[in-house]
Amino acid sequence: MTVLEKLKGIIAEELGVEKDDINADSNLADDLGADSLDAVELIMAIEEEFDVEIEDSEATKIKTVQDILDYLEEHAG
């Protein structure tokens, strides 16, 4: 399973959207309907799944699925 596929599963579960509606260009708020609470819960789920810690200052920069992928590529061991 690719990182994107795993991420789609987490996003679908946290935001209650269909995996098929999620792609790398999806904006978490505009396209997937995430509010600030959803974003916090999503970040926590990603941190747990990928064993990374996302600083608040970094989390605020995450707007799209691709932003998450880029962060994980840079920081995940």
Domains of the chain plus CATH, in order, are 3-75 (1.10.1200.10)
Band of the pLDDT at 39, cuts 50, 70, 90? very high
Residue 76's pLDDT band (cuts 50, 70, 90): confident
Render the burial of 38-51: b for 16+ CB within 10 Å, e for the rest: bbeebbebbeeebe
Phi, psi of 47 (to 5 degrees): -60, -45
Known catalytic residue at 21: no
User: Residue 60: what pLDDT?
Assistant: 93
Q: What single letter denotes the amino acid at residue 4?
A: L
Average pLDDT of the chain? 95
Distance CA 43, CA 21 (A): 19
Neighbours of 19 (CB within 10 A): 12
pLDDT tens-digit profile of 22-38?
999 999 999 999 999 99
Task: Considering the candidates 35, 38, 51, 67, report the single residue annotated as catalytic.
Answer: 35
**What integer is the mean pLDDT of 37-64?**
95
Q: What is the dihedral of CA 58, 1, 5, 56, to 10 degrees?
A: -10
Mean pLDDT of 49-62: 95
